[in-house]
Structure formats: structure tokens, C-alpha cells
């Protein structure tokens, strides 16, 4: 078993008492005789994901590339040594991996590279606790892999040749229009013009938990650990004042809270109240939007999300402004409550479902959360060079949620019942049982889009959609 001896990084940064190299990015790659030129074009298209530098490495006719968003440390990518890796994400157990491999490193990308070299890709993936999308090449074979929840995006082409990237716009930049998303938990293997996909990781389903006290205690502990893994100094929270983001704020009181909504909207009022109840008024950054703010941001939001769908745009815009505000104040890491609704039955449509029906609906929504939500959120935050972290989609939180009986998720008409019980000891009762409106409506942005459509002469059922299509 071969173990790579890796260089110790000398640029140390003190974060919560630990030296750690954290580098987020965008990745791209291609296979073929013009692969290097194609990768350069793709990296140019996603340079917003990595304003601190870029790197390219070729082995034969396969080229891997990376744009760098440095949070701490100086480790550049692609990493190469008898193989090459380009990687986007966070491996939270990389220190344990490094210790098992008997290597010294403060970089999760180096630990991942060494693990792959030591055990092979499929075995390596089984040991990872984190959010990732990566490409690895050796012996003229290219491998792509994505984390089981799909927190980090990865796209590839289905036509002639082969290329991949963190965003579709990178593939559009080299003339590719036939694009597919690598499914969460899947690995793609490309060799000699042929490609194959297979599922290599997922979420385990263990013994059913039906006792409320047991479930709430286990859930609190799991969420607390998930937030602790992802907290960073300085750190921001996309804060709506609802249950999900308030739990994260209560567990991460040093973070800055960023809230966005139309002036006078539900979200603006709710976040003020929630911050006060949490004793975090001094941490709250409110951005009250005008209709002119919304109009001016539309081109950037539509470009980032690569969609003119009114629902997607209206949900994406608050996060776009929140991450931009955080970036402007020197923050590069933001936590989000994304995933709690799909795990613990937060949507109104879940209320009337029977337990078996609810369990199936929740699993389906979890399986589709990457396509429906995560890819959008990653795109708008990375457009502002801010890394989004999602504690509720921590592997151990997800697997625990799958064990909790659906009867504990909606009880007596109370949605997210077990999550509320888990939060009782760290939040005021008023916040624990506060109902939250859908983001697109509570922020007031969906209504603002309707006003803009009418102002620009659009009428009828699809007025907003037709208005947004012009951008």
C-alpha cells in the first residue's frame, strides 16, 4: 500500500486554536488534444468562484483546472504526483484521515489526494465526511465524484469529447450545450471516449427511532456537532429569523447575521424580532431592498443561477444580496439553514400526509434537493466569492433524520415538531414555535418582480416569467 509523503504547508493560520488550510474554488477539466486551451476558457468563465488565483495541470490529453478562493493557507491546485486532483469542497475529517495515513498536512485536498493514492477512489469516498466535488486522473482515466447530498455542484457534457466544470456557464464558454449534472453520490469514469456512471455513496438508514426524548437529544447533539464543524472566524449566517437559521445562530453566537428583504416585509420584521430574542441585535445586518435594488440585481442573479424562472430568482435574490454584503465586509464563509424543511417536514404540503406518505415524500425531496435548491444557492453565493455551508445536510444529521419516525416530524399539525423539541433548551419558546412563510413571499421579492413586470408592460399569467426572460 503506497503512502504519499506530502510537504508540510508553512503558511499557518490560527482559527479556533487550530492551524488549517481552507481553500474553496471552482473546478474544470477536459479530455482531448485541445484540452488545455479549453480548460483555460472554462476557468475564465468561472473566475468569480476563485478570485485569488488559478492553476492548470495536464497528463497526456487530460487537463484539470482550478480557480482559487483562499480562506486560509497557500495550497494551490491541481495537486499532482503520479496522478492529479482538482477539488472543490470541505473534508471535515481530513485530520483523522491524515493521521491514519501517517502524513503531516493542514490541507484537506492533500489528505484526499493521499487517501485516493493509498486506497483507490471508491474506498476513499467511503471514508469522507464532508461536502465535495472532485476530479482525479491517472493512467489516462478520468474520475469525477460528488458528495451524497450534492452540496457541491458538478456538470459534464454528453456530446462529443468530454469536459466538466463547477458551473454550466464554463461549458457554455467552450460551445457545449448538451449538459448533464453528475448525480449526488455518483462517480463518473471516462476513458478512451467512453463514460460510465455508478452510485458509490449514499445515506445509510438505521434502526427506527420512535421515542421523542431520545430523538430530540440525539438530534440536538448531531446538529451541534455539524455547526461546530462548519463554523469559522469570521463567519456569517443567512438569517431569516425562522427556526432553522435561528438554531444555527444560537449555536454560533459569534457569527454575523445577514438578512435581506423588501422594506417593510415579513422577513425584515421577523429577523429584527428573532435577533432580539437571541440577544444578537448587535450582530444583525439588515438590507432593506428597494424595487430599484431588485431591478438592478436581476442580470447578476439570472446569470448566476442560469435561470429566469420567477420562483428560483425570487428565492435566490435574498441570498445573493446577503452573500454580497458579507463579502463586502471581508467574510468568505456563510452558514445556511438549507435542508431542514426536507429532513423534518417544514413545508405546508406535508401537514395532511399520512406517516408512510410523508416518509416517501421527504425522501424524494431529499434526493432532489441538490437540483431544486443547492445548485442555485451555491451559484449565487459563489458569484460573490462566498462559500456556503449547510449544517443540516451533514451526513450524520441526515442519517439520523432518516431514522426518526415521521410521526415525530409532523405531530398534531405542528411541522418540524422534533426539530423544535431539539431546540427547546437553546432558544426562547416564541422562536421555537414560530411559523415561517415561504422565502419567496416573506421577503417581498416575488411581489416586487410582479410590479417590475407590470411597469415594463408585461401582463397575463406568465408576465413575470416573460419579463425575466429578457435579461
**CA 89 to CA 49: how far, in whole Å?**
12
pLDDT of residue 68: 82
What is the per-residue pLDDT for 435?
77
Give the pLDDT mean for 69-73: 57
Beta strands in 60-101 (DSSP E): 62-70, 79-80, 84-91
| pLDDT of res. 59 | 95
Could you say which of 23, 24, 25, 319 is catalytic? 25
Which is nearest to 223 in space by CA: 378, 90, 348, 344?
Answer: 344
pLDDT of 117 reads 96
Given a cut of 70, is residue 24 above it in pLDDT?
Answer: no
Band of residue 341 on the pLDDT scale cut at 50, 70, 90 = very high
DSSP 429-442: HHHHT-----HHHH
- 0.75 exceeded by pTM: yes
| pLDDT of 17 higher than 60 | no
Burial class (CB in 10 A: 0-12, 13-18, 19+), 102: exposed
pLDDT score of 20:
46
What CA–CA distance (Å, rounded) separates 304 from 167? 9
pLDDT at 25: 85
Neighbours of 405 (CB within 10 A): 15
What pLDDT sits at residue 319? 97
Of 11 and 186, which is predicted with more confidence? 186
For residue 56, list its beta bridge partners.
65
User: Stretch 120-134: mean pLDDT, rounded?
Assistant: 97
User: Residue 199: is its pLDDT beyond 70?
Assistant: yes
Residue 11, pLDDT > 60, answer no
- In order of their start, the domains of the chain are 14-199 (3.60.20.10), 212-455 (3.40.50.620)
pLDDT over 90 (residue 76) = no
Q: How far from the centroid of its chain's Cα atoms is residue 244's Cα?
A: 16
C-alpha cell at 141: 482515466
Per DSSP, the residues of 166-234 read SSHHHHHTTT---EEEPPTTEEEEEETTEEEEEE-------S-B--HHHHHHHHHHHHHHHHHHH--SS
- Averaged pLDDT, 246-259: 98
Name the pLDDT band for 306 (thresholds 50, 70, 90).
very high
pLDDT confidence of 434, banded at 50, 70, 90?
A: confident
Q: Is 25 a catalytic residue?
A: yes
Q: Is the pLDDT of residue 267 over 80?
A: yes
Q: In whole angstroms, how large is the CA radius of gyration of the chain? A: 22
Q: Whole-number mean pLDDT of the chain?
A: 92
Res 77: pLDDT:
86
Q: What is the pLDDT of residue 75?
A: 60
Question: In this predicted structure, which of 5-14, 84-93, 175-184 has the lowest mean pLDDT?
Answer: 5-14
Residue percentage of the chain with pLDDT more than 70: 93
Candidates 23, 125, 38, 129; CA nearest to 77 is 23
Mean pLDDT over 95-105 rounds to: 95
pLDDT band at 401 (very low <50, low <70, confident <90, very high): very high
pLDDT of residue 323 exceeding 60, the answer is: yes
How would residue 9 be classed by pLDDT, with cut points 50, 70 and 90?
A: very low
Amino acid at each position: 500500500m503506497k503512502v504519499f509523503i506530502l510537504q508540510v504547508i508553512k503558511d499557518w493560520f490560527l482559527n479556533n486554536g487550530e492551524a488549517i488550510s481552507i481553500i474553496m474554488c471552482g473546478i474544470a477539466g477536459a479530455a482531448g488534444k485541445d484540452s488545455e486551451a479549453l480548460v483555460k476558457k472554462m476557468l475564465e468563465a468561472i473566475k468569480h468562484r476563485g478570485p485569488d488565483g488559478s492553476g492548470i495541470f495536464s497528463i497526456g490529453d487530460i487537463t484539470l483546472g482550478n480557480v482559487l478562493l483562499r480562506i486560509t493557507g497557500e495550497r494551490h491546485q491541481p495537486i499532482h504526483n503520479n496522478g492529479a486532483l482538482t477539488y472543490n469542497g470541505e473534508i471535515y475529517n481530513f485530520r483523522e484521515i491524515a493521521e491514519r495515513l501517517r502524513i503531516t498536512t493542514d490541507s484537506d485536498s492533500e489528505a484526499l489526494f493521499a487517501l485516493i493514492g493509498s486506497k483507490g477512489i471508491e474506498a476513499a469516498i467511503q471514508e469522507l465526511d464532508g461536502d465535495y466535488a472532485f476530479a482525479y486522473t491517472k493512467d489516462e482515466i478520468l474520475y469525477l465524484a460528488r458528495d451524497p447530498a450534492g452540496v457541491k455542484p458538478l456538470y459534464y457534457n454528453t456530446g462529443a469529447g468530454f469536459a466538466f466544470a463547477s458551473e454550466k456557464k464554463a461549458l457554455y464558454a467552450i460551445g457545449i450545450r448538451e449538459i448533464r449534472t453528475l448525480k449526488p453520490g455518483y462517480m463518473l469514469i471516462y476513458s478512451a471516449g467512453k463514460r460510465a456512471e455508478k452510485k458509490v455513496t449514499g445515506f445509510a438508514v438505521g434502526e427506527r427511532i420512535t421515542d421523542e426524548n431520545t430523538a430530540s437529544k440525539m438530534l440536538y447533539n448531531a446538529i451541534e456537532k455539524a455547526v461546530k464543524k462548519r463554523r469559522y472566524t469570521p463567519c456569517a449566517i443567512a438569517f431569516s429569523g425562522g427556526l432553522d437559521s435561528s438554531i444555527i445562530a444560537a449555536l454560533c453566537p459569534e457569527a454575523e447575521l445577514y438578512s435581506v428583504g423588501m422594506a417593510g416585509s415579513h422577513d425584515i420584521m421577523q429577523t429584527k424580532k428573532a435577533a432580539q430574542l437571541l440577544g444578537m441585535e448587535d450582530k444583525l445586518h439588515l438590507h432593506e431592498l428597494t424595487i430599484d435594488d431588485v431591478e438592478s440585481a436581476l442580470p447578476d442573479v439570472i446569470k448566476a443561477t442560469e435561470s429566469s424562472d420567477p420562483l428560483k430568482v425570487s428565492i435566490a435574490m435574498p441570498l445573493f444580496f446577503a452573500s454580497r454584503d458579507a463579502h463586502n465586509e471581508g467574510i468568505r464563509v456563510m452558514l445556511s439553514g438549507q435542508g431542514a424543511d426536507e429532513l423534518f417536514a417544514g413545508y405546508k404540503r406535508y401537514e395532511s400526509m399520512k406517516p408512510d406518505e410523508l416518509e416517501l415524500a421527504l425522501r424524494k425531496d431529499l434526493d432532489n434537493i441538490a437540483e431544486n435548491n443547492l445548485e442555485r444557492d451555491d451559484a449565487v453565493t459563489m458569484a460573490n466569492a462566498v462559500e456556503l455551508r449547510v449544517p443540516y445536510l451533514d451526513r450524520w444529521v441526515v442519517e439520523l433524520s432518516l431514522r426518526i419516525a415521521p410521526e415525530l416530524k409532523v405531530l398534531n399539525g405542528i411541522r418540524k415538531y422534533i426539530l423544535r423539541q431539539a431546540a427547546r433548551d437553546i432558544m426562547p419558546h416564541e422562536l421555537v414555535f414560530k411559523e415561517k412563510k415561504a422565502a419567496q413571499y416573506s421577503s417581498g421579492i416575488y411581489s416586487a418582480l410582479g410590479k417590475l413586470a407590470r411597469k415594463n408592460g408585461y401582463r397575463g399569467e406568465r408576465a413575470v416569467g416573460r419579463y425575466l426572460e429578457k435579461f
